[in-house]
Chains A and B, each alone.
Chain A
Amino acid sequence: MVRAEGVHKRFGRLEVPKGITLEVMPGEVMCLLGPSGSGKSTFLRCINHLEKINRGRLSVDGELVGYRQVGDKLHELHESEVARKRAEIGMVFQHFNLFPHMTALENVTCAPILVRRAPREPARARARELLDRVGLADKVGSYPAQLSGGQQQRVAIARALAMEPKLMLFDEPTSALDPELVGEVLQAMQQLARDGMTMIVVTHEMGFAREVADTVCFMDDGLAVESGKPADVLSSPRHERTRAFLSKVL
């Protein structure tokens, strides 16, 4: 589903990620772990075309991200093509980024109606269904400011799902939450994983990685240091840097 080969992203003199190679299969849940500044979030943003990559190749579902290859030349994609590709990838952010001037329901229906030109009533029915699935059937008419952090993040998940994405990206979805609210969000994500969604999750929740992930990938200093089954990587890391990081967080 996602294939990265030597992906580089440059910010001025800083280069992070600097050569990430990994592959995510359809239906797979991959957790990206690692210290802050290691390039996990930037890599996630690259997958969703929110950042442009400078070197390497990155493809989603067999199609290059951000470029089109004609012969051996790369052409930048037009804004509207980028938007079309983004619509197929759901993203959940650390700070939820719900639209504060819309109710929970409007947050969820907004993109299907505007982007997919879905008729209003079916879109609303589908949104109710999705909000029900994340346990928020009774919060349909609430504005984000009236919801707790955990509830907001679950609305954000429903909002992303409303576009029926083939891939979901989670950028530290529980890092801005009170400890007691983390569980409800992880539960919604676990349910999603069980339903067979392909997911890439940047997280510091080791428990979640161990239980839900098919693969964990440890990143440090812009590189994918090691990856494998969570049991292997988390219990018996091969790499020194992985060991050092895990000894601090576990």
Chain B
Amino acid sequence: MSAGATDAPEPSRRPEEIKAVPVRHPGRWVATGLILLFGTSLARSVATNNRLEWHVVGQFLFDHRILEGVVVTLELTASAMAMGVILGVVLAVMRLSPNPLVSGASWLYIWFFRATPVLVQLLFWFFISAIYPRISLGIPFVGVEFVHGSANTVITSYVAALLGLGLNEGAYMAEIVRAGIISVGEGQTDAAQSLGMSRLQIMRRIVLPQAMRVIIPPTGNETISMLKTTSLVIVIALSPPELLLATQNIYSVNFKPIQLLIVASIWYAAMTSVLYVGQYYLERYYARGATRELVPTPLQRIRRGLFSLRRREWS
């Protein structure tokens, strides 16, 4: 510790350490008092209100219907985000294309899906069979069809939910990815071009990896937001039910809505917290090269803290 201090002037010649009277902060004391007062009264009301019936919350927290709902919510979040991210990258690259038609098409898509509420879009996909009773995949105008089916069987409530959430997410992700791509300096493209890389190689190997640093934080935000937006799917009665519908199915029978909504909230909060951790490590991975030294993970920090404690005991 003191190895580097040998060159410092001798302690006797050093001026004595300053001991000043600190500035008083009366405002902080008042604020602390108010927060404590508000916090304790809130905690007291929650703890002592018998109508909250915490035992009901406990009884349903790990109910198999709730757990199945959690799984469906996670699946829906993951698949809608996957769809959103892939669409977002494609739309962002299209948006930046020098071809005005390609970039215009991307602009129109983004405008449309950001200009209408996601709840409306969900309902729209759910009712699509009203205008397109029959859906087929083939070559337009020549009558060649590879597969076809009735809209009611193709667009199940799950497909409607996925389309509604995923297509909408694609528009938002496109803007996030575009911001990331723009954030990478032109010099990077110049350098990659001068080495003879193709446009695709430059995008994949040089620009996108660097754009990730800008893209990850808002994408984490979008994922957290998506986790809870999946609850909107309740309007199209997804089967199997996701978390919110699963709780509703229970409280419509036992008439304990508050307790079951608390159960749902606990699960949403728990899943969100897990996503927080995932985002932290993802951000850390893409910070490679951007900072001189990687910030240690919490685990490494704890380990290092323990180690230095032990060392202190030895010395």
Contacts and interface: CB of A to CB of B under 8 A. Distances in A.
Nearest to A111: B195
A79 B199 contact: yes
A79 B190 CA distance: 14
Nearest to B205: A114
B147 to A, nearest CB: 36
Interface string B179-198: 00000010110111111111
A165 to B, nearest CB: 10
A83 B190 CA distance: 12
A137 interface: no
Most central of B196, B198, B201, B206 by chain A CB within 10 Å: B196
B187 A97 contact: yes
Nearest to A156: B191
Contact of B289 (A79, A88, A144): A144
Contacts of A80: 198
A156 to B, nearest CB: 8
B274 interface: no
Interface string A84-103: 11111111010101111111
Interface string B266-297: 00000000000000000000101111100000
Given A50-B190, A95-B187, A110-B205, A101 B289 contact: yes
A159 B195 contact: yes
B196 A84 contact: yes
Interface of B: 185, 187-188, 190-199, 201, 205-206, 209-210, 286, 288-292
Nearest to A86: B196
Contacts of A103: 289
A93 B190 contact: yes
23 contacts: A48-B194, A49-B193, A50-B190, A79-B199, A86-B194, A86-B195, A87-B195, A87-B196, A89-B194, A91-B191, A91-B194, A93-B191, A97-B191, A99-B188, A99-B206, A100-B210, A100-B290, A101-B209, A111-B196, A114-B201, A115-B195, A145-B289, A145-B291
A204 to B, nearest CB: 20
A158 interface: no
A86 B292 contact: no
A143 interface: yes
A91 to B, nearest CB: 4
Nearest to B209: A101
Nearest to B288: A101
A54 interface: no
Given A49-B193, A87-B195, A110-B205, 4 more contacts: A87-B196, A97-B190, A110-B195, A143-B288
Contact of A90 (B188, B194, B197, B201): B194
Nearest to A98: B191
A23 to B, nearest CB: 22
Contact of A163 (B195, B198, B201): B195
A85 B21 CA distance: 72
A187 interface: no
B187 A115 contact: no
Given A93-B187, A93-B190, A97-B188, A83 B198 contact: yes
A83 B189 CA distance: 12
A83 B196 contact: yes
Contacts of B187: 93, 95, 97
Nearest to B191: A97
A52 B201 CA distance: 22
A160 interface: yes
Interface in A43-95: 48-50, 79-80, 83-91, 93, 95
Contact of B196 (A144, A145, A163): A163
Given A50-B190, A93-B190, A100 B289 contact: yes
Contacts of B190: 50, 91, 93, 97
A146 interface: yes
A143 B289 contact: yes
A71 to B, nearest CB: 29
B282 to A, nearest CB: 14
Nearest to A48: B194
A145 B292 contact: yes
Contacts of B192: 99
B191 A99 contact: yes
A60 B205 CA distance: 28
